[in-house]
Amino acid sequence: MLRPLSPPFPSFFSFLSWVVLVEGSERLGGWIRSVRGPDGAVFELGPRGIRPAGVLGARTLLMVSELGLDSEVLPVRGDHAAAQNRFLYVGGALHALPSGIRGLLRPSPPFSKPLFWAGLKELTTPRGKDPDETVHSFAQRRLGPEVASLAMDSLCRGVFAGNSRELSIRSCFPSLFQAEQTHRSILLGLLLGAGRVPQPDSALIRQARAERWSQWSLRGGLETLPQALNTHLTSRGVSVLRGQPVCGLSLQAEGCWKVSLGDSNLEADHIISAIPASVLSKLLPAEAAPLAHALSTITAVSVAVVNLQYRGARLPVQGFGHLVPSSEDPGILGIVYDSVAFPEQDGSPPGLRLTVMLGGSWLRTLEARGSVLSQELFQKEAEKAAATQLGLKEPPSHCLVHLHKNCIPQYTLGHWQKLESATQFLAAQKLPLTLAGASYEGVAVNDCIESGRQAAARVLGTEPKS
């Protein structure tokens, strides 16, 4: 939340002294959370890698440099196994996803034909006419049923822990949707690109491009990023309140907000809300009922994250990890081979670190039934998956289990209309409220940072550079 009072702002830094950041929990970072094991190994309970690609990836790297974290960055370079190899677990076996032109021409199980044929279908399929479509329907229409039910199903599980038959192509994968709209074909769109967008520049960004990084982390874990941001902002006058959940918002006669924090209140000329849409919907006053309704329909799913560490064990393959389509297992979304991408975080003596993600229809059914969701249940399922899918039959030496409730927003079919109605309401009512965070236009860390940057630029009246 942001509380700029009494503009004008002579400089950005003096503006910052009028900003209050209100965090409900005692810790900053939200889902970004890194914990150390007894041997110093780093376990990520949320995100574990940030992509450097594109303008948003570059802007995050710029921020990393501004925070003085360059020397902490752990890159995954383009020639590394974790950058080159990704797998699908189908039919009880791991299958490497093909890469490069030659890979597309070869037979590549679990797909029955070389993916070249899916590409040919894609190039000859006409443009879709609907304003939105499910990811599954879009992929089936353009790339065929196998790519839809194996590759795109798994991708939706890997990124959104969601169901490709419910998620929106327009909102979840806007670049694919736009490529079809603009160039009639995803492949043509990817080849021709979206035109030249001005790119930020820094030594770190140039290094990431030269070494073709696929992703990066930070030596002490990704939580170092919000911690550094906190130090940076507080040193410049931002007040950070922790452990103070906002429990209500009301509009004052003068047009500013009263922010209820339980025992105390704040006044704010403008609020940037970066909390989940459905949480905000419950805090809004009656005057904002139509907005609250639109936000309440942006739901989220839960994910159980199980970090496992094994002593003296070896993986059967080297890569970033593998995804599991829903047809293979309704509960295991995939396994990330953390030690392959970031061996520097393995601790001493080094142990093999993996993360098993559980969710999907399996978890949704358990939640709907009100079943007991014990740590033992998730640990047992995760160890079983590591044993059957990766051959790791010995018990792990260390295990962390966390159930993240409602952690990934679901951009279901028609999500764009919810955003449009929220935007229209805010503009028509001139409400001093700006929306940011994972609920709206992208769940990746880069997307969330960008949404915060754009929100701040809007409040300050400085147009975001695109």
Ligand X SMILES: Cc1cc2nc3c(=O)[nH]c(=O)nc-3n(C[C@H](O)[C@H](O)[C@H](O)COP(=O)(O)OP(=O)(O)OC[C@H]3O[C@@H](n4cnc5c(N)ncnc54)[C@H](O)[C@@H]3O)c2cc1C
248 binds ligand X (CB under 6 A): no
Q: Which of 114, 245, 248, 350 binds ligand X (CB under 6 A)?
A: 245
Concatenate the DSSP letters of all residues of 179-201 into one string. Answer: HHHHHSSHHHHHHH-S---PPP-
Taking the complex as a whole, the smallest distance from the CB of residue 164 to ligand X amounts, in Å, to 18
Kindly indicate which of the ranges 113-121, 198-206, 263-271, 275-283 contains the residues binding ligand X, using the contact rule CB under 6 A: 275-283
Cβ 279 to ligand X shortest distance, Å: 5
Euclidean distance between CA atoms 450 and 454, whole angstroms: 6
Element (H, E) at 100: helix 100-105
Tell me the β-bridge partners of 434.
272
Q: Which is nearer to ligand X, 45 or 115 (CB)?
A: 45
Question: Is residue 32 involved in binding ligand X (CB under 6 A)?
Answer: yes
Beta bridge partners of 21: 240
Does residue number 285 form part of the binding site for ligand X (CB under 6 A)? Answer: no
Examine residue 265 and tell whether it contacts ligand X (CB under 6 A): no
Please choose, out of 59-67, 71-79, 269-277, 319-327, the segment that lies near ligand X by the rule CB under 6 A.
Answer: 269-277
Site of tokens 């080159």:
84
- Residue 187 found at the interface with ligand X (CB under 6 A): no
Closest to ligand X by CB, 148 or 356? 356
Count of CB atoms situated within 10 Å of the CB of 376: 9
23 binds ligand X (CB under 6 A): yes
Task: Choose the stretch contacting ligand X; rule: CB under 6 A; options: 45-53, 168-176, 227-235, 372-380.
Answer: 45-53
Q: Is 86 in the site for ligand X (CB under 6 A)?
A: no
Q: Compute the least distance from the CB of residue 125 to ligand X, in Å.
A: 30
Residue 73 binds to ligand X (criterion: CB under 6 A): no
Stretch that binds ligand X, among 65-73, 199-207, 436-444, 457-465 (CB under 6 A): 436-444
- Three-class SS of residue 231? helix
Report the residue number, 138 or 440, with the smaller CB distance to ligand X.
Answer: 440
Judged by CB under 6 A, the stretch of 20-28, 66-74, 200-208, 320-328 that binds ligand X is 20-28
CB 221 → ligand X: shortest distance, Å? 12
Q: Which is nearer to ligand X, 50 or 172 (CB)?
A: 50
Cis previous bond, 98, omega within 30: no
Rule CB under 6 A: is residue 47 a binding residue for ligand X?
yes
Q: Please name the amino acid found at residue 210.
A: A
Q: Report the 10 Å Cβ neighbour count for 104.
A: 15
d(CA 404, CA 32): 11
- The binder of ligand X chosen from 2, 37, 43, 49 (CB under 6 A): 49
H-assigned helices in 370-444 = 375-390, 415-429
Q: Other C-beta atoms within 10 Å of 375: how many?
A: 14
Buried/exposed 141-174: b ≥16 CB within 10 Å, e otherwise: bbbbebbbbbbbbbbbbbbbbbbbbebbbbbbbb
Sheet with strand 352-358: strands edge to edge: 93-96, 87-90, 321-323, 332-336, 352-358, 300-310, 398-409
Query: Does 303 sit near ligand X (CB under 6 A)?
Result: yes
By the rule CB under 6 A, 246 interacts with ligand X: yes
With CB under 6 A as the contact rule, which of the stretches 148-156, 274-282, 325-333, 426-434 interacts with ligand X?
274-282
Candidate segments 47-55, 127-135, 139-147, 363-371, binder of ligand X by CB under 6 A: 47-55
Q: For 413-441, give one letter per residue: b (16+ CB within 10 A) or e.
A: bebbbbbebbeebbeeeebbbbbbbbbbb
* 46 is a site residue for ligand X (CB under 6 A): yes
Please give the residue whose beta carbon sits closest to ligand X in the complex.
Answer: 30
Which of 7, 12, 17, 25 contacts ligand X by CB under 6 A? 25
Locate tokens 């990811």: which residue? 135
Indicate the DSSP class of residue 126: P
By CB under 6 A, name the binding residues for ligand X: 22-25, 30-32, 46-50, 245-246, 274-276, 279, 303, 305, 404, 407-408, 437-438, 443-445, 448
